[in-house]
Amino acid sequence: MRLPRDPAAQLIALVAAFALTRFAVLVAARARELYPFQDDPLDIAVFASWGAVFAGAPGEVPLRDGPWEYPAGAAAVVVAPALLRGAPYVLGFVGQMVLWDLALLLVLAGLGLRRGSLAGAWLWVAAVPLLGPVALSRFDVVPTALAVGGLAAAGGAPVLAGALLASGAVIKLWPALLLPLLLLHGGRVRVLVGAVAVGAFTLLVVGRYSGYAQLFSFLTYQRDRGLEVESLPALPLMLARAYGDERMRVGFGFGSYQVDGPWAPAMLLVGTLGLGAVLLAVAVLAWRARRSDPGQALPVLAVLLMAGVLVFDKVLSAQYPLWLAGLVCLSLCRPDSPLRASVAPLAGLLVLTQLVYPLSIQTLTLTTRPGPVLLLAARDLLLLVVLVVAARAAWQLGSEQRVGADEHRGEHRHRRGAGDEHEVVSAVALGEAGQRPDDREQHEVDPRQGQQRPAGPHEQQRQDDAGPGVEPVRRPRP
């Protein structure tokens, strides 16, 4: 989608489409005909209970009285709706998510207007309704907005970029994986200054209100989780279960459905090795593209990294594809984005994710019908397509950089050769201009004697330069 002739009109259309789609998502979440097997797609009772105790209600306070599954910064997101006196928690929570959602849209629209394409902004307008109510009933839109903002600010405001990515990381850990990408594209010290400032502030707040005993408890929580039924490493177990293998068992734990069985340890190992391979591959490709345009390279590498994480991680909750959608949208703010081919598989990935959760989650976990598992397999296939598209684009970044360097060296050699030729021509011209009259008569035939005069030193040099087989120029003698 190219830059419109009237940017103001296009921005108005974006905001209007945003308002209509978000309203439709929230209305649909209450329609029992659309979500018959889900008690309430906007059920966030667990967030409400945490928010209440963070705000001062009696009860066990996460991070102070026990471990918590999220980094400490997530407490600010959870407690904010509880501080709105007189308003239902769900209204405050969803309203907060819509505001972050709108902020991300405005960032994408602003970048698109400057860089020449609003395709990223329009894709984001579509992404949330394609994913469904889970996009607004979880707080993953917050770190997504912060990560996109951080990458967008990398070129002109590295301190802000580091601060935004660190802010996302203290809410959900994944934006921290993007920080090393910024360090490869200049402004390293300033990026670290912003990130360290946010980290230090978080430590001060946590130390003041809860102490540090449970600060990293979320890492232990994530380590102890099993294979979530929606993750790609769990797919072989879910397929075996759907087709009659009773050794594969599904249970509820750690806030989600998990599958266990004889293959589970092997698939957990495959996932761990795969994550290591993804990190190594992204590091190599980032090094190859280190001299590329950061506005082009950073979103591509970020999409590759997060697509790899989603493919191999043992947890792939329904809201996680939102991370990928935000990063793809950032790349599409340029008309020459190499990730245009990922739009269709990403849209299909979002739709199938909603079909799996919440629409088929009960059938997937409580029965052995193959239908929901096949939906899950199709969703995973589209995720792999996005990964391949991003890997190809990242490889081309380094290849184009090398081709550009080779062309530059070739142009330099051409200019140098042209300069040498110019020096030879100039030397010949100067030699002819400075020769003596008797030299000009050399290699000429004396008509009276019929003999050729011997060549003088200047003419002999010119004949040597001309090479063998080249006859010297003879002028008739007056």
> At residue 49, does pLDDT exceed 70?
yes
Instruction: Please state the separation of Cα 36 from the chain's center in Å.
Output: 35
Q: State the Cα–Cα distance between residues 213 and 83, nearest whole angstrom.
A: 26
CB 98 within 8 A of CB 60: no
pLDDT, tens only, 353-366: 999 998 999 999 99
pLDDT reported for residue 37? 58
CB atoms inside a 10 Å sphere around CB 448: 7
pLDDT reported for residue 276? 97
Mean pLDDT is lowest, of 120-124, 158-162, 210-214, for 210-214
CB environment 226-250: b (16+ within 10 A), e (fewer): bbbbbbbbbbbbbbbbbeeeeebeb
Closest-CA residue to 355 (of 317, 318, 301, 308): 318
Q: Which residue has the higher pLDDT, 134 or 41?
A: 134
CA distances (Å), 65 to each of 61, 62, 210, 219, in order? Answer: 5, 6, 8, 17
CB 455 within 8 A of CB 463: yes
pLDDT, tens only, 119-139: 999 999 999 999 999 999 999
Q: Name the strand (E) or helix (H) holding 264.
A: helix 264-288
Q: Which residue has the higher pLDDT, 45 or 438?
A: 45
pLDDT reported for residue 286? 93
The neighbouring-strand residues paired with 445 are: 452
pLDDT mean over 231-248 = 96
CB 442 within 8 A of CB 425: no
Which DSSP category does 211 fall into? -
pLDDT reported for residue 437? 42
Q: State the Cα–Cα distance between residues 239 and 192, nearest whole angstrom.
A: 45
Closest-CA residue to 152 (of 125, 112, 183): 112
pLDDT reported for residue 415? 52
Q: How many residues in the chain?
A: 478
CB 199 within 8 A of CB 166: yes
Closest-CA residue to 254 (of 232, 223, 213, 231): 223
Q: State the Cα–Cα distance between residues 125 and 444, nearest whole angstrom.
A: 87
Q: Percent of the chain having pLDDT more than 90?
A: 71
> At residue 466, does pLDDT exceed 90?
no
Closest-CA residue to 354 (of 141, 134, 27, 31): 134
pLDDT, tens only, 278-287: 999 999 999 9
pLDDT reported for residue 448? 43
Helices 321-331 and 89-115 sit at what angle, rounded to 10 degrees? 20
3-state secondary structure of 429: helix
DSSP conformation letters of 8-29: HHHHHHHHHHHHHHHHHHHHHH
> At residue 408, does pLDDT exceed 50?
no
